[in-house]
Amino acid sequence: MSYQHQYVDGTKIHFPLGKVVCIGRNYAEHAQELNNPVPTEPLLFIKPSSAVVPIEGGFSIPDDRGSVHYEAEIAVLIGKPLSRKPSEEEVRDAISGFAPALDLTLRDVQARLKEKGYPWEIAKSFDGACVLAPFIPGDAYSDLADIDVRLTINGEIRQDGNSCDMLNPIVPLIQHLCGHFSLQPGDVVLTGTPKGVGPLNKGDTLVLELPGKSQFESRVL
């Protein structure tokens, strides 16, 4: 199924789908569960637009490259160009939406790459590696340091985080990454995963939500 940005009410968002900028280890308890040190500066990587699939109707995972882990994350849709050193107000004004997302990761492949000190690209960028839900409007939260994200698999809550636990909160994170590259309307920022990551399996049923704001059911095809 091809992907186009949209709001939960079905309104299409006419920004082209751009890159998906991700941060690793943005919650201390998640870094610890994978025995990773907590980074001193944001650990960034990018998924290409070809990795993005919509959550509706279910999604597929690779079955020939070892375990595929789910990482539930708060996705931020960028709606205005941002570059260099945007102010807090400019960043806030450029946010056009929030959605829950899955950063899917080939964990065995990533472990091998990490061991060698190589980039993670092929573990994070395969087709279908970014599952995105429809967005709620960018003004849906008055406090960006109090956004819940939750993932339930087969009836069991596996991840239940809040943006207050981010090591790099949303606005400073976006300011930081603009120091490295510009953001364009249609780009998405995935803000890191709270603790509780684990493998996904064919047939799993999922509920991915920004509790109190939006909720989506899906399954692994």
Cβ proximity to Zn ion, 103 vs 209, nearer residue: 103
Query: How many angstroms separate the CA atoms of 174 and 78, rounded?
Result: 10
E strand or H helix at 168: none
> Burial letters for 53-88: b for 16+ Cβ neighbours within 10 Å, e otherwise?
bbbeebbebeeeebbbbbbbbbbbbbbeebeeebee
Q: Does 102 bind Zn ion (CB under 5 A)?
A: no
Do the beta carbons of residue 29 and residue 165 sit within 8 Å?
yes
Minimum distance, C-beta of residue 39 to Zn ion, in the bound complex (Å): 13
Strands across the sheet with 214-219, in order?
Answer: 156-162, 148-153, 205-210, 214-219
Distance CA 152, CA 159 (A): 7
Backbone angles phi, psi at 84, to 5 degrees: 55, -105
Each residue 137-176 as x (binds Zn ion by CB under 5 A) or -, in order, gives: ----------------------------------------
Q: Which is nearer to Zn ion, 110 or 193 (CB)?
A: 193
Q: Minimum Å distance from CB 73 to Zn ion?
A: 6
Contact window for Zn ion (CB under 5 A) among 114-122, 139-147, 153-161, 187-195: 187-195
Among 5, 6, 52, 71, binds Zn ion (CB under 5 A): 71
Q: Which stretch binds Zn ion (CB under 5 A): 8-16, 54-62, 164-172, 186-194?
A: 186-194
Asked if 187 is part of the footprint of Zn ion (rule: CB under 5 A), the reply reads: no
Beta carbon nearer to Zn ion, 50 or 81? 50
For the chain, the residue count is 221
Asked if 209 is part of the footprint of Zn ion (rule: CB under 5 A), the reply reads no
DSSP 152: E
**Which listed residue (191, 193, 214, 218) binds Zn ion by CB under 5 A?**
193
* 103 is a contact residue toward Zn ion (CB under 5 A): yes
Residue nearest Zn ion by beta-carbon distance: 103
Q: What φ, ψ does residue 17 adopt, rounded to 5°?
A: -65, 125
- Residue 86 or residue 209: which is nearer to Zn ion going by CB? 209
What residues line the site for Zn ion (CB under 5 A)? Answer: 71, 103, 193
